[in-house]
Amino acid sequence: MRVILADDEPLARQRLHDLINELDRPELDVVAECASGTAVLAAADSADLVLLDIRMPGPDGIEVAAQLARRPSPPLVVFITAHDEHALTAFGLNAIDYLLKPIRRERLAMALDKAATVLRGRGSSEDDTITVTTARGLLRIPLETIFYFQADQKYVTIHHQHGEQLTEASLRSLEARFGERLLRTHRNCLVVTSRIRGLEQQADGKLRVLLDGCPDRPEVSRRQAGQVRARLRPPR
């Protein structure tokens, strides 16, 4: 498990290091130490877990966790603080644990056990899930429930079986992540390939794609029409 230690106090980071060493868990790998929220955001893609102090320079721990939650595959977060007034906010951001300073070795061990359990539960299914932030916390949307992605200026809307959600993931990053499981039908639209059932030519000449289980008919641009038709042809 790749871990980031995030605290603006060097002695606090050393304390975390010492506790981890005392636990003697070879599966733990401290990949970065960060003294600011900005540094955490820059390093987070290399980690499975962030031990995150709440009061930090730059974006504080709460804001860092909120930004991480908008990423497609965010690391887990365990908040660390000398104060408990942020506990409700922390769990609203789906932090898996909340440790009060001074940290006891036994409590850190419990938090690490919890993180390991969550990571095992993710398994390969995490590769098929998009995580978004909602007013109620994190929501994980399985790709198999999604019809298509529609870009509109800064955000991308996920159209899925249970409604719509916004994500800050770009269409390009989604293409890179899911490969041929998504098909671009327009410069601002990606559809889930397994959902495609056919094409429909409308009276105004526009071509639209028919998606299994979806009443919407996303537009197919002239530029992408050949690629979509090719995908619909049965293999020889």
Q: What is the CATH number of the domain that holds 193?
A: 2.40.50.1020
pLDDT category of residue 124 using cuts at 50, 70 and 90: very low
pLDDT at 94 over 50: yes
Is residue 189 located within the same domain as residue 111?
A: no
Is the pTM higher than 0.75?
no
Is residue 23 located within the same domain as residue 88?
A: yes
Is residue 53 located within the same domain as residue 6?
A: yes
pLDDT at 90 over 80: no
pLDDT at 91 over 60: no
Domain boundary among 70, 98, 127: 127
Is residue 104 located within the same domain as residue 179?
A: no
pLDDT at 236 over 80: no
Range of the domain at 191: 135-232
pLDDT category of residue 10 using cuts at 50, 70 and 90: very high
Average pLDDT over residues 171-200: 91
Residues 172 and 162: beta-carbon distance below 8 Å: no
Q: Which of 129-138, 156-165, 173-182 has the highest mean pLDDT?
A: 156-165
Q: Which of 27-31, 33-37, 82-86 has the highest mean pLDDT?
A: 33-37
Is residue 145 located within the same domain as residue 110?
A: no
Token pair of 10 as six digits = 């060097």
Q: What is the pLDDT of residue 137?
A: 65
pLDDT category of residue 74 using cuts at 50, 70 and 90: confident
Is residue 25 located within the same domain as residue 58?
A: yes
Number of separate domains in the chain: 2
Average pLDDT over residues 134-142: 74
pLDDT category of residue 186 using cuts at 50, 70 and 90: very high
Show Cβ contacts of residue 80 under 8 Å, excluding neighbours closer than 6 positions.
Answer: 7, 12, 16, 51, 52, 53, 54, 99, 100, 101, 103
- Listed residue (236, 216, 227) closest to 183, CA to CA: 227
Is residue 54 located within the same domain as residue 105?
A: yes
Q: Provide the mean pLDDT of the chain.
A: 86
Q: How many CB atoms lie within 10 A of CB 135?
A: 5
Is residue 25 located within the same domain as residue 67?
A: yes
